[in-house]
């Protein structure tokens, strides 16, 4: 599904962030991680935080510069910390996902360093810039958190446009007859124990009916309520 | 915009994850963090990873148990690591965001421990379960990454729909405390009339709890159910 998409971490400082990014990708079904000139090569802290995504780390090509990491790509997206830092074609996350899921281009998504994000020359190597709409008063997204959001949006869109199995409606097995029988039972029992005034039975019953309909009971729950009422009935006969 | 929504981290093991979660929330404009029985109180590693979101950490109430963290909440959402672990009302992330952005209920979103997520009793305290659709073959989402995704989805929906006036939620007047009192009454009464086997009380009660939460009772309905149970109680004393 995502074989044509690689995530490229550019000049990352902390190996821990590389590990967390690998884990974030893998949870969303993305597997192609590329590193450009990391300040420190992935180490034990990266592997620890990858938490089972160390296969992505081990397979990640390490490039000396950005050019080499995107040489064979035909569509390059740059994650930009600020909206419209350069006057450049912009996509929002939804537009990005829609584009990437229908293209057969080889795609690179670039994430800049923790401290300063992508530099202007790096941003200028991109076809589009994408900005994650964080709170302007605190926009300090962690690198792995940004990777997690982008990977999630891709997966979320893929699941929405893909064929997803429908969950069957549990309420569908309860007929109107079942509900009427249950309400009759409530009426009989609650009249016997004088919760319902036989002169004005409808009000309490109507309130119960509204509550039970709203709950969309399943057949087992109908059975449970009958058995509770039966226990009360028996008590009344003692 | 999000003043009515708190994120509740339950029995978190690693202070670093609490710090990362605080940062993840704040980048998306969410500020109410609550902690339930953290294995280690937030410390320097939490503050370091909060990276400017330490105000959320400092203001975060620390509760001895889940009940106290959600006592005043009227809508409780549990993040579930697996889809349909219990047969319980489910929302997907979009449905959750749509619901939370139009309700004026006081909302808690629960995140379980790193190792095992929310326990079954914790999940049973929720009105809805929400599952992040990770890759089934590697669903190991980091706690702070899950917080980041949920916070992002909330912000993303809010930005898409714009600022809209809150509509009132009929369920909004029923607190978690009211529900607990009602369930306690059911337990006492149904045990007395032997619907509940005192050796295995949880199954019947859990089924009733699920049904009653799904019905989103209003205060008058809570009163009606108490009065029915009282009538049964009286009958037992004859």
Under 8 Å between Cβ of B35 and B9: yes
Contact across the interface for B133 and A139, Cβ inside 8 Å:
no
How far is Cα B15 from Cα B29, in angstroms, rounded to an integer? Answer: 21
Tell me which chain A residue has its CA closest to the CA of residue B94: A156
User: Least CB-CB distance to A135: which of B27, B135, B217?
Assistant: B27
Q: What is the pLDDT of residue B83?
A: 65
Contact A228 B139 (CB under 8 A): no
Given A51, A193, A208, which is nearest B232 (Cβ)? A193
Phi, psi of A3 (to 5 degrees): -60, -20
Over the stretch B42-53, which tens digit does the pLDDT of each residue have? 899 999 999 999
Q: Which residues of B touch A167 (CB under 8 A)?
A: 90
Q: For residue A114, give Cα distances in angstroms to A41, A123, A146, B44, B53.
A: 15, 15, 11, 20, 16
Give the residue range(s) of CATH 1.10.8.590 domains in chain A. 170-237
The answer, yes or no, to whether residue A140 has pLDDT greater than 70, is: yes
**What contacts B84, CB < 8 A, 6 or more positions away?**
B90, B131
Q: Which token pair is B231?
A: 């009538």
pLDDT at B161 over 90: no
| Band (A166; pLDDT cuts 50, 70, 90) | very low
* 8 Å CB contact of B224 and A214: no
Regarding predicted confidence, which is higher, A25 or A179?
A: A25
Domain with CATH 3.40.1280.10 in chain B: 5-161
The end-to-end CA distance of chain A, in Å, is 67
ipTM above 0.90, yes or no: no
Q: With cut-offs at 50, 70 and 90, classify the pLDDT of residue B72.
A: very high
Structure tokens at B83: 């889809």
Question: Are A231 and B152 within 8 A, CB to CB?
Answer: no
- pLDDT-based confidence at residue B166 (cuts at 50, 70, 90): very low
Position B164 scores a pLDDT of 43
Mean pLDDT score, B161-185: 69
Q: For residues A131 and A212, give the distance between their C-alpha atoms in angstroms, rounded to a whole number.
A: 47
Q: Which CATH architecture has domain B174-237?
A: Orthogonal Bundle (1.10)
Contact A7, A70 (CB under 8 A): no
**Nearest-CA distance A67 → chain B (Å):** 30
**Rounded Cα–Cα distance for residues A192 and A230 (Å):** 12
User: CA B19, CA B159: separation in Å to the nearest integer?
Assistant: 25
CB neighbour list of residue B12: distance below 8 Å, 6 or more residues apart = B18, B35, B38, B39, B111, B113, B114, B143
State which residue of chain B sits closest to A204, comparing Cα positions: B224
Here the tokens at position A162 are 């893909």
Of A193, A211, A235, the CB nearest to B221: A211
Task: Output the CATH code of domain A170-237.
Answer: 1.10.8.590
Residues of A in contact with B53 (CB under 8 A): 138
Asked if residue A164 has pLDDT above 60, the reply is no
Q: What is the DSSP string of A60-76?
A: --EESSHHHHHTT-SEE
HSE (side-chain half, CA atoms, 13 Å) at A52: 10
Reduced 3-state DSSP string for A103-114: CCCCEEEEECEC
- Mutation target for B interface from A56, A142, A160, A191: give the one with most B CBs within 10 A: A142
Confidence band for A84, pLDDT divided at 50, 70 and 90: low
CATH number for the segment(s) A5-161: 3.40.1280.10
Mutate to test the interface with A, among B52, B133, B189, B210 (most CBs of A within 10 A): B133
Counting Cα atoms < 13 Å in the Cβ hemisphere of B233 gives: 11
Q: State the best of A49, A148, A161, A182 to mutate against chain B, taking most chain B CBs within 10 Å.
A: A148
Provide φ and ψ at B46, rounded to 5°.
Answer: -65, -45
Give the nearest chain B residue to A152 (CA atoms).
Answer: B149
Residues A47 and A58: their CA atoms lie apart, in Å, by 9
Name, in order, each residue with C-beta under 8 angstroms of A164's C-beta and a sequence gap of 6 or more.
none
pLDDT tier, A165 (very low <50, low <70, confident <90, very high otherwise) = very low
Ranges in chain B annotated CATH 1.10.8.590? 174-237
Task: Produce one character per residue of A3-16: b if its CB has 16 or more CB atoms within 10 Å, e if not.
Answer: ebbbbbbbbbebbb
Q: Distance, in angstroms, between B66 CA and closest chain A CA?
A: 25
* Contact check, Cβ <8 Å, B231/A193: yes
B131 band by pLDDT with thresholds 50, 70 and 90: very high
Contact A132 B152 (CB under 8 A): yes
Give me the residue from B135, B204, B231 closest to A29, CB to CB. B135
Cα–Cα distance for residue pair A122/B78, rounded to 1 Å = 41
Is the confidence at residue B172, as pLDDT, over 70? no
Pairing type for strands B5-10 and A107-111 reads: unpaired
Question: Could B140 and A231 be called an inter-chain contact, meaning their C-beta atoms sit closer than 8 Å?
Answer: no
């Amino acid at each position: 599904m995502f074989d044509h998409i690689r995530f490229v971490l550019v000049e990352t400082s902390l190996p821990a962030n590389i590990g967390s990014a690998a884990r974030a990708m893998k949870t969303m079904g993305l597997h192609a991680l590329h590193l450009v000139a990391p300040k420190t090569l992935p180490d034990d802290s990266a592997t620890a935080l990858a938490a089972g995504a160390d296969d992505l780390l081990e397979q990640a090509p390490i490039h000396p510069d950005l050019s080499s990491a995107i040489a064979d790509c035909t569509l390059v997206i740059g994650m930009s910390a600020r909206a419209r830092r350069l006057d450049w074609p912009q996509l929002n996350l939804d537009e990005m996902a829609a584009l990437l899921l229908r293209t057969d281009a080889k795609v690179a998504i670039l994430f800049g360093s923790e401290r300063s994000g992508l530099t202007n020359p790096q941003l200028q190597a991109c076809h589009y810039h994408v900005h994650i709409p964080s709170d302007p008063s605190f926009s300090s997204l962690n690198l792995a958190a940004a990777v997690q959001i982008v990977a999630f949006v891709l997966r979320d869109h893929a699941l929405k446009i893909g064929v997803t199995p429908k969950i069957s409606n549990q309420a569908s097995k309860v007929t109107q007859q079942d509900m009427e029988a249950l309400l009759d039972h409530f009426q009989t029992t609650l009249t016997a124990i004088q919760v319902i005034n036989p002169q004005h039975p409808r009000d309490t019953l109507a309130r119960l009916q509204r509550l039970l309909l709203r709950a969309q009971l399943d057949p087992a729950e109908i059975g449970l309520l009958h058995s509770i009422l039966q226990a009360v009935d028996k008590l009344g006969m003692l």
